Structure 1
Amino acid sequence: MSFDLDAYLTRIGFDGERVPTRATLDAIAAHHTATIPFENLDPFRGVVNRLDLESLQAKLVHGGRGGYCFEHGLLLQAALRDLGFTVTGLAARVLWGSPDLDAIPARTHMLLVVDLDDERRVIDTGFGGMTLTGTLRLERDTTQETPLEPFRLVDLHGDWAMQARVGDEWRTTYRFDLHPQHPIDYEPTNWYLCTWPESKFVTTLMAARATADRRFALAGRRLTVHRLGGATEKRTIADADEFRTVLTRDFLIDADRIAGLDEAFDRLP
């Protein structure tokens, strides 16, 4: 199946020039993260995410849904290639929330690196609550501004480590190398994350969306809204009706098209 670039750009609300430039790349990152949420409703409901291009477009472009990193990354990769960018898929080891930065977890995250005329840039629209809303120059030890938090890339035993500044602290999101990945390389990990009984994508419901001035994050029944330079709001969702409202209003998910949401909410601790 071919990629429907017009439908994708309409979905994310991008009407700028279709040229492979830094400005276009940054704009795509901002528009994508503001309109297509991170969410794992399918594996939490026992449905395995499909990574073929037809399924990705049906779900994320036409279906009023979001997805997790492999879905975001493969959809975005197809869009950027259609726009004329040279794009390489990579794999990362997630360190977010880990006290041990020397840990070697499995490569369970996807990100992209884009080759422009004079630089290489990282773009990643699928890292949940701390996803990039801009792009980063592939350069170590330089603080780089994004529409939300500052980020930087540092050396970690020869790998690249991405860090975000949260308050006064640099926190590591993940580590990666530059070994290219192909779509088939993500399939076994996708199956594992969607079916392993102890996978956080199976046991925990998550959603996230980032706009120009705030981040929305859902973890189980807890909704958090982080405002840029302002207060953080947290509250607990009371019932399944409010759950549907939050999914629709804050995460732009078409909740009416998803079966079993009431049962999914009842499973939340």
Structure 2
Amino acid sequence: MEAYLKTIGYEGRRDVTPDTLKALQAAHARTIPLENLGFMCGEKVLHCPLAVCRRIVLGGRGGASPELNGAYCWLLQQLGFQAYLVACQLYDHQSGSFLPEGSHIAVLVSLGRKRFLTDVSCPAFSKEPVVIVPHKVQTDAVGGRHRLRRHDEMTWSFQKLFFTSFDGPLFEECDIAPDPNPPWTTVYRISLIPVVLEDFKHLTTVIYQNVKSLKGERLFSPKRDPLVMTHTKRGRKFLIGKRFCTVLYKEGVARKTVTDIDTSEEMADVIWREFGIRFLEEKQLMTRIDLLYERRTRRSSI
């Protein structure tokens, strides 16, 4: 536990309070990236939280969504929080339907009479824990607005007000002004019944080889380009394919910057410098990235 807290750079209070929960989520989301680098080298989803913790602490790695929230839930439990995992169904905006239960895993925390939903791996999640109350609009530190919609006592949906078209063009350097009348967008549906990560061992392996982003891009397939994402204090940063992007939310505007990456060596530098990942199988990863660059070059010349 001490090594884990040191890895995420957390030196704050350890009392079991909403403020501590908020600080822990912020520290974890800013330091441990969501990434698919392991998938590019043939890794499978880890379903043992302690194994994920070891990989994060000793290997300097991030992980897929169930891995990160599974390890984070373990950390909260070690600190004395009444925390457990809950199964979610990501909403597929291309088909207009929900993926199977377990396509995402989040963390539920009980503090006195209040319950909080927290999530350190979903790019669209609030930068702060969300109180489990129906339809109340909750605003986080960067102005993001979120709410929970109750279907019944145990089934809820997490919804967000995006800027425009899921935060605007993905690979264009631009300032995105908020839509004055944005629609509420469902990110995922949650069952508040506690689950064990191992129960979804087969499903999460299959799902995370086929899951798509809100823009319809497949993210966690071994044949995909590199994907790495972390939150920052005022936004987030991410590497997708051959582009490094940052989003900064300030005064109601999302300012997006994009940097093209020309070589696999530059990509390795970005992965280390921006996300702190020094891949254990770096040679294997770089070989995979070189093949992707080579394949793109051949395709563009046809």
User: Same fold by TM-score, threshold 0.5 exceeded?
Assistant: yes
- Say yes or no: does 1:180 pair with 2:194: yes
2:235 equivalent in structure 1: 214
Q: Distance in 2 between matches of 1:76 and 1:197?
A: 22
2:107 equivalent in structure 1: 112
Q: Distance in 1 between matches of 2:65 and 2:271?
A: 19
Displacement of 1:146: 1.8
- Spell out the pairing of 1:6-21 with structure 2 (5 A cutoff): 6-21=2-17
Choose 210-219 or 227-236, whichever is displaced more: 227-236
Structure 2 residue aligned with 1:35, among 8, 18, 31?
Answer: 31
Structure 1 residue aligned with 2:71, among 62, 69, 75?
Answer: 75
Amino acid at match of 1:35: T
Displacement of 1:228: 1.1
Normalised by the length of structure 1, the TM-score is: 0.88
Normalised by the length of structure 2, the TM-score is: 0.79
- Say yes or no: does 1:88 pair with 2:113: no
Amino acid at match of 1:116: L
Going from structure 1 to structure 2, the CA distance change for 1:200 and 1:24 (only over 3 Å counts) comes to same
Amino acid at match of 1:201: F
Structure 1 residue aligned with 2:271, among 231, 235, 247?
Answer: 247
| Contact 2:60/2:276 (8 A) holds in 1 | yes
Residue 125 of structure 1 aligns to a residue in which SS? coil
1:25 equivalent in structure 2: 21
- Spell out the pairing of 1:108-187 with structure 2 (5 A cutoff): 108-127=103-122, 129-148=123-142, 149-155=144-150, 159-167=155-163, 168=179, 169=182, 170-187=184-201
> Which protein is bigger by CA-based radius of gyration?
2
After superposition, give the CA deviation of every residue in 1:26-52 in whole Å (9 maximum; x if it has no partner): 000000001101101111221113222
Q: Distance in 2 between matches of 1:197 and 1:14?
A: 31
Q: Distance in 2 between matches of 1:163 and 1:98?
A: 17
Q: Distance in 1 between matches of 2:51 and 2:282?
A: 15
| Contact 1:43/1:201 (8 A) holds in 2 | yes
Q: Distance in 1 between matches of 2:232 and 2:104?
A: 22
Going from structure 1 to structure 2, the CA distance change for 1:120 and 1:54 (only over 3 Å counts) comes to closer
Amino acid at match of 1:70: P
Q: Distance in 2 between matches of 1:256 and 1:186?
A: 27
| Contact 2:36/2:219 (8 A) holds in 1 | no
Q: Distance in 2 between matches of 1:141 and 1:98?
A: 25
Going from structure 1 to structure 2, the CA distance change for 1:146 and 1:245 (only over 3 Å counts) comes to same
| Contact 1:33/1:210 (8 A) holds in 2 | yes
- Say yes or no: does 1:201 pair with 2:209: no
Q: Distance in 2 between matches of 1:256 and 1:244?
A: 12
- Say yes or no: does 1:267 pair with 2:292: yes
Residues matched between the structures, number: 262
After superposition, give the CA deviation of every residue in 1:187-227 in whole Å (9 maximum; x if it has no partner): 12233246679974113232110011121122222322111
Q: Distance in 2 between matches of 1:53 and 1:186?
A: 13
2:175 equivalent in structure 1: none
Displacement of 1:65: 0.7
| Contact 1:70/1:186 (8 A) holds in 2 | no
Q: Distance in 2 between matches of 1:154 and 1:194?
A: 26
After superposition, give the CA deviation of every residue in 1:135-173 in whole Å (9 maximum; x if it has no partner): 000112111122332221124588311122222333321
